[in-house]
Amino acid sequence: MANSNPEIKYTQIFINNEFVNAVSGKTFPTINPSAGKKIVDVAEGDKADVDLAVKAAKAAFDRKAPWRQMDATARAKLIYKLIGLMERDLHYLANLESLDNGKPFNNAVYDVYGSIAALRYSAEWADKITGDTVPSDGPHLTYTRKEPVGVVGQIIPWNYPMLMLAWKWGPALATGCTVVMKPAEQTPLTALYLCSLVKEAGFPAGVVNVVPGYGPTAGHAISVHPDVRKVAFTGSVEIGKIIMAEAAGTLKKVSLELGGKSPLVICDDADVEEAAKIAYAGVFENMGQCCIAATRTFVQEGIYDAFVKKATELAKTRKVGCPFAQDTQHGPQVDETQFKKILGYIEKGKKEGAKLETGGVQEGKEGYFIQPTVFSNVTDEMTIAKEEIFGPVQSIIKFKTLDEVIERANATNFGLAAGIVTKSLNNALVFSNAVEAGSVWVNTYLAVAVQAPFGGYKQSGIGREMGKEGIELYLETKTVSIRLPTKV
């Protein structure tokens, strides 16, 4: 059940199955965004701690170490054990996530289920990862082996702390890699509690290591470490570019899941009420802190006014408040920086001539709550139509023809997701083939599934997480050729 005061059990760095202080002894506060007040101090990892974590992960990846000697089914069983413990502690984990991140408790419960689904999907791959036998020229038996990449560095954001962790731990552990993860500075608590479950599940020491701390220090140390073979990152385009550049020094494999400015196209033939509900969910989910948020709502001219009216009504119904209250749909933004940044974008929207239909201001006086905000009369050149706001701001833009809106939808460096609401199969097919995005949703939105690859075109990322492609990200392919006897 919802509990706004869950006991905080773990605040230290997790290396080699032990919780330890930072080498420097430093700590940093993690904040409750509903109140703007400190929850607890957490050990602040830095290069020295990352070095220790990588050393542990490297030792755990040694060819003679238990993790490498284990059957693939045994790896899967350990992941299932972890899942069982997460189910046992479901409400505790959800409360901890709500407290640290601000998302409503009910959404946090959903995130725990989503994390479990991601881990289960990955675990089921463990003993189904196979190579090929290859009909090579010459008297050789040639086959390929799929082997784990090795020590992987994983750097995650604060919007879905547990879910992003599970999306990264799942394939890494299923394939037999070892992990050094840095959670976001805003939301370290669930990752640390999950470490205690990793130990309880019986994973060998060093397989999972978590170093809370800041990006430019701990995150940087992971990106440049010579013994880290791959870095997997989710976050902003800006930091994605830095990580890619830094990983170049040691030629790490890099996978990046970055931001978006995703178009949702509503055609004239759509049911206005249905379309408005899809758009509402697509943009306000998780207080708009969603990489796939439908932040450019393109509406065809014939239904534009009716759509704006409906969208505004819906936004006004959204229940903003304490994340632990049963009927809350919308909590605070994650921190003061994001809060101010979003209010800044709203001011720009007004100044550049968009029409504020509802919201636009802080809700209440405490914490980082922002009212669900709807702008109409938005044009493509406005800042709110171009930059990732990462907040509860809907921008409704008018279009005339499908051809025209495809060009406009694609006129961005982002390419994470897109959607279309239409009754016409032709519209749906033309749009979904032409739009430059890693995920396209027709008559729905946010339909992310652990079985399906997820990631971005253009500057929204490199590589795909989840699905079969997500497993491939953590594998090397080795070709083995064995000379065959020539006499038969």
- Could you give the residue numbers annotated as active site? 257, 291
Asked whether the beta carbons of 182 and 15 are under 8 A apart, the reply is: no
Stretch touching ligand NAP by CB under 6 A, among 128-136, 151-159, 376-384, 399-407: 151-159
Tell me how far apart the alpha carbons of residues 233 and 235 are, in angstroms, rounded to a whole number: 7
CA distances from 311 to 204, 318, 397 (A): 52, 11, 12
Tell me how far apart the alpha carbons of residues 415 and 407 are, in angstroms, rounded to a whole number: 13
DSSP 485: P
Q: How far is the CB of 103 from ligand NAP (least distance, A)?
A: 13
Task: Name the token pair of 388.
Answer: 């990732």
Phi, psi angle pair for 208, to nearest 5°: -120, 130
Measured from the CB atom, is 153 or 212 closer to Mg ion? 212
Stretch touching ligand NAP by CB under 6 A, among 74-82, 233-241, 276-284, 427-435: 233-241
78-107 binders of Mg ion (CB under 5 A): 100
Count of residues interacting with ligand NAP (CB under 6 A): 26
Give one DSSP letter per residue of 132-148, joined into a string. -EE--SSSEEEEEEEEE
Tell me how far apart the alpha carbons of residues 157 and 183 are, in angstroms, rounded to a whole number: 7
Tell me how far apart the alpha carbons of residues 482 and 141 are, in angstroms, rounded to a whole number: 5
Beta strand residue intervals within 207-352, DSSP E: 208-210, 230-234, 253-257, 263-266, 296-300
Which region holds residue 329: left if phi is over 0, alpha if psi is between -120 and 50, else beta? alpha
CB atoms within 10 A of CB 74: 13
Nearest to 15 by CA among 63, 64, 62, 48: 48
Residues near 53 by beta carbon (within 8 Å), at least 6 away in sequence:
13, 15, 45, 180, 209, 210, 211
Q: How far is the CB of 108 from Mg ion (least distance, A)?
A: 13
326-345 binders of ligand NAP (CB under 6 A): none
Measured from the CB atom, is 67 or 390 closer to ligand NAP? 390
Please list the alpha-helical segments (H only) found in 151-293.
Answer: 161-175, 189-201, 220-224, 237-248, 272-284
Residue type, 396: I
Stretch touching ligand NAP by CB under 6 A, among 127-135, 228-236, 400-408, 473-481: 228-236
- Using rule CB under 6 A, residue 148 touches ligand NAP: no
Tell me how far apart the alpha carbons of residues 416 and 456 are, in angstroms, rounded to a whole number: 4
Q: How far is the CB of 271 from ligand NAP (least distance, A)?
A: 30
Count of residues interacting with Mg ion (CB under 5 A): 4
Q: How far is the CB of 340 from ligand NAP (least distance, A)?
A: 11
Q: Is 487 exposed, middle or buried (0-12, 13-18, 19+ CB in 10 A)?
A: exposed
Of Mg ion, ligand NAP, none, which one does residue 100 interact with (CB within 5 to 8 Å by kind)?
A: Mg ion
CA angle 205, 207, 210 (to 5 degrees): 95
Q: How far is the CB of 243 from ligand NAP (least distance, A)?
A: 5
- Using rule CB under 6 A, residue 125 touches ligand NAP: no
Task: Tell me if residue 436 falls in helix, strand or coil.
Answer: coil
Q: How far is the CB of 442 from ligand NAP (least distance, A)?
A: 23
- Using rule CB under 6 A, residue 243 touches ligand NAP: yes
Measured from the CB atom, is 375 or 399 closer to ligand NAP? 375
Question: Among residues 169, 324, 339, 390, which is the contact residue for ligand NAP, using CB under 6 A?
Answer: 390
Question: Among residues 112, 149, 239, 440, which is the contact residue for ligand NAP, using CB under 6 A?
Answer: 239
Residue type, 470: G
206-225 binders of ligand NAP (CB under 6 A): 214-216, 219-220, 223
Tell me how far apart the alpha carbons of residues 68 and 91 are, in angstroms, rounded to a whole number: 34
Stretch touching Mg ion by CB under 5 A, among 25-33, 139-147, 357-365, 477-485: 25-33
Of ligand NAP, Mg ion, none, which one does residue 388 interact with (CB within 5 to 8 Å by kind)?
A: ligand NAP
Measured from the CB atom, is 239 or 266 closer to ligand NAP? 239
Tell me how far apart the alpha carbons of residues 91 and 109 are, in angstroms, rounded to a whole number: 7
Question: Among residues 102, 171, 206, 259, which is the contact residue for ligand NAP, using CB under 6 A?
Answer: 259
Question: Among residues 11, 17, 30, 234, which is the contact residue for Mg ion, using CB under 5 A?
Answer: 30
Task: Tell me if residue 317 falls in helix, strand or coil.
Answer: helix
Of Mg ion, ligand NAP, none, which one does residue 214 interact with (CB within 5 to 8 Å by kind)?
A: ligand NAP
Question: Among residues 235, 332, 367, 438, which is the contact residue for ligand NAP, using CB under 6 A?
Answer: 235
170-189 binders of ligand NAP (CB under 6 A): 182, 184-185
Q: How far is the CB of 139 from ligand NAP (least distance, A)?
A: 49
Q: Which x/- pattern over 161-190 shows residues binding Mg ion (rule: CB under 5 A)?
A: -------------------------x----
Measured from the CB atom, is 331 or 419 closer to Mg ion? 331
Measured from the CB atom, is 112 or 440 closer to Mg ion? 112
Q: Can you give the binding site for Mg ion, defined by CB under 5 A?
A: 30-31, 100, 186
Q: Can you give the binding site for ligand NAP, defined by CB under 6 A?
A: 155-159, 182, 184-185, 214-216, 219-220, 223, 234-236, 239, 242-243, 257-259, 291, 388, 390
